[in-house]
A = this chain, B = another copy of it.
């Protein structure tokens, strides 16, 4: 055998080994080897195998995900609300007259008990005050700045460090397999867009969320889209399928959520013909994250827990199924 022939044989052997390794590359390395992970991979393989009856063409591989509690944490309250409180304090520093009601005063003082007692009306007042009367661009820049500095009161991490590593891998895996991944969130669309591209690789046009009122005007010759007080559309519960129809125009084949606010989105997704998958992130991990479901005031999960079995929805047991939670361990 010539030296050249031997090199060729080594190269062939190398290619064989490398091919075997590549074929086994784990798309979900932060997931434990449980039934959950196997089910997800089985589903993705079934819809991408062009020889199978279950094959779904690439343009129909639409996947939708809730955000709060599904892609990132939501305790003690939605992070967008933490932003609203911080922005209210900053606004009051510049102009104390902005605190024109008791609930706004309580919020600026960090009196969460009083804020909680004010109920939905109080929350909407805080959001209206802190999310309006500025152009969309300026609002998103402020939210983006806040996210680079503000830290979580319990973990001390940046909020964007509190996205779930296993879900990041799931998003990437789906995209690698020809899915288009959307966020369909009860959170505000402009707030989410301030970080969705960097954090999740999900561009602005694939973020569907609750929308505030807004209007177009020309200010000193410069056209702007201005955020107004008040809600135009609440993207929660029955609103999620309506928003999916309006924005995406196709029924998803994969949906991920974590609370009863996602119930109708999962129901809408899985009632379609052909292969469908719905997953629910079940917060079972008091040690690494939080453990909550039926009794929680954020991310309440009751009907979803009761009906997941009969509906063939997959419960992701965070404590059991996730090898790690955060991208960087704290």
Interface, chain A (partner B; CB < 8 A):
59, 136, 180, 189, 193, 203-205, 207, 211, 214-218, 222-223, 225, 238-242, 245-250, 264, 267-268, 271
Contact = CB atoms under 8 A, between A and B. Distances in A.
B59 A214 contact: no
Nearest to A249: B204
B59 A245 contact: no
Given A205-B250, A214-B245, A249-B205, A223 B264 contact: yes
**Stoichiometry (number of copies):** 2
Nearest to A244: B225
A135 to B, nearest CB: 10
Given A268-B223, A271-B222, A249 B193 contact: yes
Q: Which of A180, A242, A268 has the most CB of B within 10 A?
A: A242
A32 B22 CA distance: 52
B215 A238 contact: yes
B267 A207 contact: no
Contacts of A223: 241, 264, 267-268, 271
Contact of A242 (B225, B238, B264): B225
B225 A189 contact: no
B246 A204 contact: no
18 contacts: A136-B245, A180-B205, A189-B246, A189-B249, A205-B247, A205-B249, A205-B250, A211-B246, A214-B242, A214-B246, A215-B238, A216-B239, A216-B264, A223-B264, A223-B268, A225-B241, A225-B242, A247-B247
